[in-house]
Amino acid sequence: MTSTGQAAGDSYRRVLPVMGTVTSFDVRRIRIDPDDAARAVEAACDWLRWVDATFSTYQPESQLSRLRRGELRLRDCDPQVAVVLDLCAQAAAETDGFFTALIGGAVDPTGIVKGWAAQEASVLLRRAGLSDHVVNAGGDVACAGEPGPGEPWRVGVADPYDRNRVLVVVPARDEGVATSGVAERGEHVIDPRTGAPATRLLSATVVGPDLTRADAYATAVIAGGDPQPSWFGRLDGYTLLTVDRAGVVRRSDGFPG
């Protein structure tokens, strides 16, 4: 796979095809050497490539695929595999089981991996001194800092009926914006109660302080099909927007945009 980067003044943009989607980096207000900034973005790209190679359910030699086949024990995997599975267990408890990493009896943490990977890529950029940036991994968006003084990042949420139309623009600073649904991958989220694809909702967007959890929560909302699940009301700092098959848009209290 190839990636492209473009620098302009105090900003840097990069596009990387990875994890079956496209991840984009938009770095602003760069205060470090431009070459160091480019290397930091490249390190974040390397991280995403590693995540793909480790957690892919499509690559037969990934650690996750080997774990699923019983060829590898969890204790013999990279420690990050256990970290992700622990995050899955936490998300399952927080969502009354509507988030699950067990699909058809096989471990499958893909409902959280993309958001987690983008969140950790953002952490890498922050550690390198790039405090103002966006990492957008196919609709799972980690926003850090601001694009300009006093300005929030503006994250467009696609209309699931028309991907060329923006349904809402979310202003965000140091937040994650995660959207799950049928717009990009079709009906891929499984209802854990039936084992069949979840079909009641077309999309769910969650905004909150941690993209990893926002990604898991959005997946869980789609899986359960309830536009206002009771478990979501117990979360602190997260808001929700859903679109159902009748085209009805619902927002929880405080949803931005």
Q: What residues does 141 pair with on adjacent strands?
A: 136, 177
What is the per-residue pLDDT across 129-160, written as a single tens digit (0 to 9) for each? 999 999 999 999 999 999 999 999 999 999 99
Q: Report the pLDDT value the prediction gives residue 190, as an integer from 0 to 100.
A: 87
Cα–Cα separations (whole angstroms), residue 188 to 38, 181, 195: 35, 8, 11
Residue 4 has pLDDT above 70, yes or no: no
Architecture of the domain spanning 4-251: Roll (3.10)
Q: Vertex 213, ends 211 and 218: CA angle to 5°?
A: 90
Given its phi and psi angles, is residue 247 left (phi above 0), alpha (psi -120 to 50 degrees) or beta? left
Element (DSSP H or E) covering residue 170: strand 162-172
pTM recorded for the entire structure: 0.93
pLDDT tens digits for range 5-37? 765 569 999 999 999 999 999 999 999 999 999
Q: Judge whether residue 185 has pLDDT over 70.
A: no
Q: Per-residue pLDDT averaged across 97-102, rounded?
A: 95
Mean residue pLDDT of the chain comes to 93
Q: How would you label 162-187 residue by residue, b for 16+ Cβ within 10 Å and e otherwise?
A: eeeeebbebebeebbbbbbbbbbeee
Cα(227)–Cα(12) distance, rounded to whole angstroms? 38
pLDDT at 54 over 80: yes
Residue with tokens 């480019």: 38
Q: Where in the chain are the domains?
A: 4-251
Judged against a pLDDT cut of 50, whether residue 3 lies above it is answered with: no
